[in-house]
Amino acid sequence: MPLSYRLDPDAEQELADAMAWYDAERSGLGRELLDEVHAVAQHPAKFPASGELIRGLPLQHEFRRFLLKVFPYALIARVQPGELAILVVAHQHRKPRYWRKRVVKIPP
């Protein structure tokens, strides 16, 4: 049975900010980003081990990275029983690894 997925409030804000930026560039482009995020999130919800395992985080949870195909973003998610929690919608070329401090603070 596929996992459900949800976006953490911080990830929702990152996505909203990115959508607003893309819409300012071209009307409707923000919606295309949203559609791709949801499409990419569907795959790990079915196959959670398909993303790249993120090493070096001192946590008991499994974190994985799922790359978008069109936009330069990655979804950083925690695989937990029955759910894929998308914690970060990270731009791949700006502020690399900024999100690591945030996920380390997430309670078990």
Q: What is the domain-level CATH number for residue 91?
A: 3.30.2310.20
- Strand order of the β-sheet with 83-91 is 4-7, 83-91, 73-80, 62-67, 52-53
Output the average pLDDT for the chain.
Answer: 84
pLDDT, greater one: 30 or 51:
30
Does pLDDT of 63 surpass 60?
yes
* pLDDT average, residue stretch 40-69: 79
Share of the chain above pLDDT 70, in %: 85
Rounded average pLDDT over 60-71: 87
Number of domains in the chain: 1
What integer is the mean pLDDT of 49-53? 83
What is the per-residue pLDDT for 2? 62
Secondary structure of the chain in HEC code, one letter for each residue:
CCCEEEECHHHHHHHHHHHHHHHHHCCCHHHHHHHHHHHHHHHHHHCHHHCEECCCCCCCCEEEEEECCCCCEEEEEEEECCEEEEEEEEECCCCCCCCHHHHHCCCC
Structural domain for 47, as ranges: 4-104
